[in-house]
Amino acid sequence: MADAESTVTVAAATLQTLIADIFAAAGCGREEAERIGRYLLSANLAGHDSHGVIRTPRYVQWLQEGKVRAGQALTVVNDGPVHATLDGNWGFGQTIGPLAVDLGIAKAREAGVSVIALRHSGHLGRIGDWAERAAEAGLASIHFVNVEGGELVAPFGGVDRRFSTNPVCIGIPGDDAAPMLLLDFATSLVAEGKVLVASNGGKPVPQGALVRPDGRFTDDPAALYGPLVPSAPRDPAMGEGALVAFGLHKGSGLAFMCEMLAGVLTGGGTSGPIPGGKRGRISNGMMSIYLDPAKFSGADFHARARAYADYVKASRPVTPGGEVLVPGEPEARMRAARLAHGVPLQAQTWTAICATARSLGVAVPAP
């Protein structure tokens, strides 16, 4: 059902099946295709549309160009009782991600802690999915992520791009009585997907989210994509400006350390020009730490975590009728709403997904 001229609302189950059918037709095994559908939908359900089904046409193109590979498994480069270095062989992040997380969970259950260095994974999408997987197994987790081959963000004080949008994610497990807490954000002031939406006439990004090549701050998406031609595809390689890191030197420093931990320490690659003709191929590196609360804290861990979250929420709101939310709360609310009422997509996003489906001979359901 179209609920606004520029928006199409699709039932979650319908959308997930369509995305799975597309990837199955594109050459993935059925199991992998369903997993990709499930995780892309999961980002939309959490409200992070920039990392959801909007990625389908680009992922299919990458598969067809050999930039991401179907049916890959992890290669263990080296490992020990509490650590492993893993190579994702440019497999789909939706396949490589859960394999890497499950190894981290297994090791942390034995030792109380584990550290998993993952290199050369296809796009890992919404990193919160991986902290949620660990939390479902009862573990806290910390994830630092970079993008080899991606270059979008200027360092603090600079104009030229040196980082990607390098996300950081921390998950704290809940139990039946305590909700899980999930902090999951890009280290750029806004995600690239939000600039993309603004470039198509959607919600503008804040002034100062981008920097022009002459050093002036701006909200103009042309800084990232070059001159904007209506309805032409947007390519961040065409812009001469950059995204700006959040929080001045602090966010920029965090993005820098994501490159060090997820790009250099994993043995993968950093943001920057890629030698050897791999231009256009991106991969995620991810340094993850898993912690078993039972090995560090008392049996009252969940009760104390809940009590503190309640104390934070009880801070008086700055606006009358306002509310303090804890990390993960906006996503949980959005998930409940979208499961009940469907997933709104920009009409342009839905059209692009349908075009990809038809090009592969997949029937498109009525939204």
Q: Which residue, 232 or 324, has its beta carbon nearer to ligand NAD?
A: 324
Beta bridge partners of 87: 75, 119
Burial of 265 (0-12, 13-18, 19+ CB in 10 A): middle
- Residue window 187-226: x/- pattern of binding to ligand NAD, with contact defined by CB under 6 A: ----x-----------------------------------
Residue with token string 């969970």: 105
Distance separating the N- and C-terminal Cα atoms of the chain: 6
Counting contacts by CB under 6 A, is residue 133 touching ligand NAD?
no
Tokens read off for 271: 């943001």
Counting contacts by CB under 6 A, is residue 284 touching ligand NAD?
yes
Cβ atoms of residues 289 and 112 within 8 Å: no
Tokens read off for 355: 């075009």
Q: Min. distance of Cβ 316 from ligand NAD in angstroms?
A: 15
Q: How far apart are CA 108 and CA 139, in angstroms?
A: 8
Counting contacts by CB under 6 A, is residue 171 touching ligand NAD?
no
Number of residues that bind ligand NAD (CB under 6 A): 26
Beta bridge partners of 86: 76, 118
Which of 104, 149, 269, 327: binder of ligand NAD (CB under 6 A)?
327
Which of 24, 147, 343, 357: binder of ligand NAD (CB under 6 A)?
147
Counting contacts by CB under 6 A, is residue 91 touching ligand NAD?
no
Counting contacts by CB under 6 A, is residue 328 touching ligand NAD?
yes
- Residue window 219-258: x/- pattern of binding to ligand NAD, with contact defined by CB under 6 A: ----------------------------------------
Which of 34, 49, 292, 331: binder of ligand NAD (CB under 6 A)?
331
Q: Min. distance of Cβ 340 from ligand NAD in angstroms?
A: 20
Q: How far apart are CA 237 and CA 297, in angstroms?
A: 47
Cβ atoms of residues 76 and 86 within 8 Å: yes
- Residue window 33-72: x/- pattern of binding to ligand NAD, with contact defined by CB under 6 A: ---------------x-xx---------------------
Q: Which residue, 24 or 290, has its beta carbon nearer to ligand NAD?
A: 290
DSSP 269-284: --SSPPTTS-TT--EE
Counting contacts by CB under 6 A, is residue 128 touching ligand NAD?
yes
DSSP 46-57: TT-GGGTGGGHH
Report, in angstroms and rounded to the nearest whole number, the Rg of the chain calculated over CA atoms.
20
Tokens read off for 276: 């050897």
Interacting residues with ligand NAD (CB under 6 A) = 48, 50-51, 123-128, 145, 147, 165, 167, 169, 182-186, 191, 284, 325, 327-328, 330-331
